[in-house]
Amino acid sequence: MSDGGSERGMSPQCSGSPQDSNTEPEELVDDNSDNNWKDVSGKATPPSRKQVAQKQIPRLGDSNDDGDLPDVAGVSTWLERNPGKHAIPPRDRPKCVIGPEQRRTLYDRAKGKKNRKAALYAEIAELNKKRNKKLPVLAKKHGFKLKLVSMHRAKLHYLSKSLNKGRYLCFTVDSCPDSNIQDFCQGNDSTYTNSKLRADLLAHRAKRVKGARMTNKGVAQSAGYTMRHLVSEIDNLYERSGMHGFAIFSKGHIQDLTEPYMMQSAGSLDFFHEVLRLDPLDVIAKFEQWCCAREKGFTGVDTLGSMRAEVTKMIKTGLVFASRRQKCAMNYERYIKAVVLGYGCELVSWPKTVNFVSPTNISNIDDMTALRDALKDGTCRWKSINEEERKKWRAEYERQVEESLAV
């Protein structure tokens, strides 16, 4: 009686003695092949047999680490191919033996934390309108900490903005002791609360990150700093993991002073010479010319028909992306039932001056232009709804059905 491994790839024996377990496994050839011919007497010859490799096919996930590759000849890591590089040693994670009592304790602790999280999120949903005032109380009640802007930094920002307004030489941090920060904020302007101070600091940070630079020189300096940081990150990525790559950047207007940038790692720009048969300098020159020549948001002659087709396509594409369904259709007459409740998404910030109808029924070119601009800049967009919003939409739909406004 042979084991399961020796039966793999073998046909069942109908008659005769069982095969020896030491023999090589064999496989029958298909009866329809050309090798199965009959002799002169008409008797069929026995089917031919061919040898099958006994080596087991390696499978992923054989080891304890799900990310390990199978031990296959020819497969190596980036570190093994570069023995001269310094390796980052893995963390020592000794095997921890957990007994039944400790396992139950950990299970109860995780279950209790899950219940506390569920209770926390439920109360936050109920008090959504007063969340800014109730969040500290709930966090302390359920044993969580809030991630907020430091009040020290918020007060320091307010102090710097107030003292340095209109000054050419600004005060430094050393000239403003910490003891005077709170006194200044409370004494000069009592209307400023902690939430307002934090909101001002967050708005200032957002302006610093995404705000436009005032001069072309400032734009060039910001671009140069960012490019140097990207070059360092691309080179370090190659050193750590061996990944190749390149990137191309160009200015967007002819009057900008920024120079085009092309960065690479490990000679990746040779791809243009060896595969595309192009000079990288020609590629970046054409890319810069294309960026400066094209007009943003212009797709040709703006007619009512062209804008209607463009708006219809943007609405349909956004609906497919938001609903995650390839086969979906926009329905303006039964919008709540077919789209909001059916697909679980809604179209928010529709222009107030434009009636919510199909673009086919919009005959005013000004309304069509406003709708197209709102869709392009992201003001009017698709958004997925949660369970609370779904309940509100369902109640609104039932109300319209009762009033014979919807079917």
The 10s digit of each residue's pLDDT in 303-348 is: 888 889 999 999 999 999 999 888 889 999 899 999 999 999 999 9
**Residue 49 shares a structural domain with residue 132:** no
Among 142, 166, 200, where does a domain finish? 142
- DSSP 8-state symbol, 361: G
Question: pLDDT band at 61, cuts 50/70/90?
Answer: very low
> Looking at the domain assignment, is residue 116 inside a domain?
yes
Among 241, 259, 293, where does a domain finish? 293
Burial zone of 375 (CB within 10 Å; 0-12 exposed, 13-18 middle, 19+ buried) = buried
Longest dimension (CA), the chain: 117
358 pLDDT more than 50? yes
**CA pseudo-torsion sign 369, 370, 373, 374:** negative
> Looking at the domain assignment, is residue 93 inside a domain?
no
pLDDT tens digits along 117-166: 989 888 877 777 666 677 778 788 888 887 778 887 888 888 888 777 87
Total domain count for the chain?
5
Q: Are 288 and 251 a contacting pair, CB within 8 Å?
A: yes
Secondary structure element (H or E) that encloses residue 261, with its range: strand 261-265
38 bridge partner residues: 44
Q: Are 25 and 8 a contacting pair, CB within 8 Å?
A: yes
- What's the domain range around 181? 151-209
- DSSP 8-state symbol, 38: B
Query: What integer best gives the mean pLDDT of the chain?
Result: 77
Question: pLDDT band at 196, cuts 50/70/90?
Answer: confident
Tell me the two tokens of residue 50.
């061919």
> Looking at the domain assignment, is residue 20 inside a domain?
yes
Averaged pLDDT for residues 5-21? 44
**Residue 287 shares a structural domain with residue 325:** no
Secondary structure element (H or E) that encloses residue 378, with its range: none
The pLDDT score that the predictor gives to residue 138 is 79
Report CA-CA distances (Å) from 21 to 11, 16, 150.
14, 15, 75
Question: pLDDT band at 29, cuts 50/70/90?
Answer: very low
> Looking at the domain assignment, is residue 366 inside a domain?
yes
Per cent of the chain over pLDDT 70 is: 74
